[in-house]
Structure 1
Amino acid sequence: MKALHVITGLGVGGAEQQLRLLLRHLPAQCDVVTLTNPGPVAEGLTADGVRVTHLGMTGNRDLAALPRLTRLIRDGGYDLVHTHLYRACLYGRVAARLAKVRAVVATEHSIGATRLEGRPRTAGVRGLYLAGERLGHATVAVSPTVAERLRHWGVPGQRIRVIPNGIDAPRFRYDAARREVARTFLGLPEGAFVVGGVGRMTPGKRFDLLVRALALLPGDVWLLLVGGGPEEDVLRRTARDLGVSNRVLMTGERPSLPDPQDEAPDLVDLLSAMDVLASPSPEESFGLAVVEALAAGLPVLYASCPAVEDLPPGAAPGARRVTGGAGAYARELLRLRAAGPGERSAPDAVGRYDIAATAEQLMDLYTAALSGSNLEGSTS
């Protein structure tokens, strides 16, 4: 089987890194096209031996990209096209149909309760989404919550398959030696209680709430933010205005998969360096950072995390939902600080999100789509 994955960009983000990890486990010949931004994940994919093509798309309305993508798909002789993220799903599905590809699958990574990849869920966005969705054979929802949102939008239930994101859980296992190395690299004082945040630095992630919570906490509490994005400067100014900039560390984008040429701590090292992960984003489609933190044995405070909320009650005892603002997070962080370090072991629930199982389910979907099998009932 020869498959082409089409994605909007390949900067360091959850969907992008999930794609790289997935391709390490899919038993199919896979190439990748990125419409824009061939960033660090593109370099990682190339290092893994995956052929990556940058389409050079200049914006959402660069219609000249459509015939280029169509030719690329047709010339590549692909059996199946798999699209990821809104723009890639729209252009990729159209191009795949024009190229007469046998099967077209999409993964919905980022549909929230009120926004789609940061866009307000207007009638126009919904109309374009549904028009594109009808050109595919199946849409993968990364959680039951996302599947329900898709049905609410008007995607027929028989076209939806729930296949959760996956992680390589053993890689995230807590390591005391890596913790010490990472904390020394970061210049953290001995005994510092480190609150972590992982994700894109955008307004929707609400990392400013953690900066404001830090201002309510004792001087031995530090904030470690891992990720990049347009909100970085705003967060630095907020920390400066609140007088806590000396206790805020921002690492920029850090890969979850190791880069032998990069001596700085990767995401796994940084999770070992933390004492708790906080995820104040009010709208998530899955909550990959939370699952990775649980795999690292961290307690987690979150505002929205379908990956936890869709589990049976008590399956992730280290995760607690927090409602409210900076004060609510500050109170929970003080509680965890007072409780002291617990055993850094992952809950059994993390095993539900194994990347090998995700890849196996996806291959089953590919086979069904290529054979024309009925996908009825695939959301269960």
Structure 2
Amino acid sequence: MTRVLHVITGLGRGGAEQQLLQLVRHMPGSVDTEVAVLTRPGPVAAALRAQGVRVHEIGMRGNRDLSALPRLARLMRDGRYDVVHTHLYRACVFGRIAARLAGVRTVVATEHSLGDGHIEGRSTSAAVRWLYIATERLGTVTVAVSPTVAGRLLDWGVPADRIVVIPNGIDAAAFAFDPGLRLGVRRRLGIAPDEFVFGAVGRLVPTKRFDLLIRAFARLEKGALLIVGDGPQRGELQELAARTGAASRTIFMGESGHVPGVLSAMDALAAPSEQETFGLSVVEGLAAGLPVLYTECPALADLPPGMVPDSARHVPARLPEWQEALARCMSEGRRRTVPPDAVWHYDISVHAKTLAELYESSHRSATGPRPEPVVALQQERAQNAGH
């Protein structure tokens, strides 16, 4: 039995938090899991506890609350964990240091949110980058959720033999279309049963480009736009919807504790983000049978040749193209009754099994595995630079 402590910054309804919940739910029986949350236990903490997972609240009060460090180290030392697995920037920084203080030899980190010039929706300063790299060296291996993220880690200076690509996973059955949920969600939101609904799911930050979606949608004469998520740009986006005349047809739902339900209420998913580390909402939309419009999605770009489904259409981040794509989708888009093969490619049970094997192999070796895919990526980038 491998004892693993997951350390995460918060347990709200974000993508990394939901991914952790699904990972723990599908982890093989050979892994005994506990979770430590630095701040904001939130609804995912309650869901983990409902599954019988022990959740430790560290009570960190802010980014500079160094008193959290000895509390976290003490937890790790007393728990006698074989592996510490960290998620999100603050948890990775504090978790790696605490693990070193506690004498935990195997530290795995998953990089969920490293974009081009930003991390977790915030700009990356030289200080942020320096602290990330300095503490990364205290760990054993860093998991990138896509080859795109692996490339960014390489650019930051993380050695190839410390990176392994393990994509995010999805429980496809959980997103199956439910006509009862569709009617219930629409009734609660005041949406007519026969109205065509475009949906978007994600944190309301500039890189997601919900502004582009609202402008394109405002040019349509009918339909509704359902935006699921919250974030610092909410007020600005609501004002934009009002200025463009789309306010009466745009619903800002806020965060949802049941994404499968809101996906059932939609007729198409729009994902105009220009930067993504994986594109989980796109895969979830496909699992729900929805036609999907997207600008950037490493999860689809990294699929084997021929596996990108025809129900997913790439749309450049320009207003005329998005307006045309929305109009065309409204007239031609149809929900699929069976998810495409691309969804099964990211089966969460396979993801969990791969991570369990990584825990075991990393625990056996102080240096951890040397993953061929990332070494090959580094070699390919070097060859391209030489041309």
Following superposition, the deviation at residue 72 of structure 1 comes to: 1.4
Once the two structures are superposed, the pairs formed by residues 118-197 of structure 1 within 5 Å of their partners are 118-197=121-200
How far, CA to CA, are the matches of 1:312 and 1:374 in structure 2? 27
Mapped contact 2:60–2:68 kept (Cα < 8 A): yes
The percentage of aligned residue pairs carrying the same residue is 54
1:287 paired to 2:289: no
Deviates more, 1:125-134 or 1:5-14: 125-134
How far, CA to CA, are the matches of 2:68 and 2:372 in structure 1? 33
1:311 paired to 2:313: no
Following superposition, the deviation at residue 86 of structure 1 comes to: 0.6
Mapped contact 1:295–1:350 kept (Cα < 8 A): yes
Following superposition, the deviation at residue 120 of structure 1 comes to: 2.3
Mapped contact 2:8–2:88 kept (Cα < 8 A): yes
1:358 paired to 2:351: yes
Following superposition, the deviation at residue 112 of structure 1 comes to: 0.9
Q: TM-score, normalised by structure 1?
A: 0.93
Once the two structures are superposed, the pairs formed by residues 50-61 of structure 1 within 5 Å of their partners are 50-61=53-64
Corresponding residue for residue 263 of structure 1? none
Residues 286-341 of structure 1 show CA distances to partners (whole Å, capped at 9, x for unaligned) of 11101100111111111211101111344122212211333321110101112152
How far, CA to CA, are the matches of 2:230 and 2:99 in structure 1? 32
Q: 1:86 aligns with which of 85, 89, 99?
A: 89
Corresponding residue for residue 332 of structure 1? 325
Q: What secondary structure, in the 3-state scheme, does the structure 2 residue paired with 1:24 have? A: helix
Corresponding residue for residue 49 of structure 1? 52
Q: 1:242 aligns with which of 236, 241, 244?
A: 244
How far, CA to CA, are the matches of 1:112 and 1:168 in structure 2? 25
Q: What secondary structure, in the 3-state scheme, does the structure 1 residue paired with 2:230 have? A: coil
How far, CA to CA, are the matches of 2:373 and 2:103 in structure 1? 27
Mapped contact 1:301–1:321 kept (Cα < 8 A): yes
Mapped contact 2:171–2:348 kept (Cα < 8 A): yes
Q: 1:343 aligns with which of 314, 324, 336?
A: 336
Following superposition, the deviation at residue 127 of structure 1 comes to: 1.4
Corresponding residue for residue 21 of structure 2? 20
How far, CA to CA, are the matches of 1:237 and 1:314 in structure 2? 41
Q: CA RMSD in A?
A: 1.6
Change (3 A) 1:227 1:374: closer
Mapped contact 1:298–1:344 kept (Cα < 8 A): no
How far, CA to CA, are the matches of 1:378 and 1:88 in structure 2? 27
Gaps of 5+ in 1: 256-265
Residues 68-112 of structure 1 show CA distances to partners (whole Å, capped at 9, x for unaligned) of 111111111111100000110011000001100131000000011
Following superposition, the deviation at residue 157 of structure 1 comes to: 0.9
Corresponding residue for residue 10 of structure 2? 9
Mapped contact 1:130–1:154 kept (Cα < 8 A): yes
How far, CA to CA, are the matches of 2:306 and 2:42 in structure 1? 39
Gaps of 5+ in 2: 375-387
> Which AA in structure 1 matches 2:244?
L
Corresponding residue for residue 370 of structure 1? 363
Q: What secondary structure, in the 3-state scheme, does the structure 2 residue paired with 1:106 have? A: strand
Corresponding residue for residue 378 of structure 2? none
How far, CA to CA, are the matches of 2:4 and 2:317 in structure 1? 44
Corresponding residue for residue 261 of structure 1? none
Deviates more, 1:310-319 or 1:75-84: 310-319
> Which AA in structure 2 matches 1:357?
V
> Which AA in structure 2 matches 1:200?
R
Q: TM-score, normalised by structure 2?
A: 0.91
Corresponding residue for residue 373 of structure 2? 379
Mapped contact 1:160–1:379 kept (Cα < 8 A): no
Q: 1:226 aligns with which of 225, 228, 252?
A: 228
Once the two structures are superposed, the pairs formed by residues 179-218 of structure 1 within 5 Å of their partners are 179-218=182-221
Corresponding residue for residue 36 of structure 2? 33
How far, CA to CA, are the matches of 1:340 and 1:279 in structure 2? 15
Following superposition, the deviation at residue 148 of structure 1 comes to: 1.4
Residues 2-49 of structure 1 show CA distances to partners (whole Å, capped at 9, x for unaligned) of 111101111110000100111011131111111111111111112111
Mapped contact 2:289–2:339 kept (Cα < 8 A): yes
How far, CA to CA, are the matches of 2:46 and 2:203 in structure 1? 19
Following superposition, the deviation at residue 226 of structure 1 comes to: 1.0
> Which AA in structure 2 matches 1:91?
F
Mapped contact 1:216–1:327 kept (Cα < 8 A): no
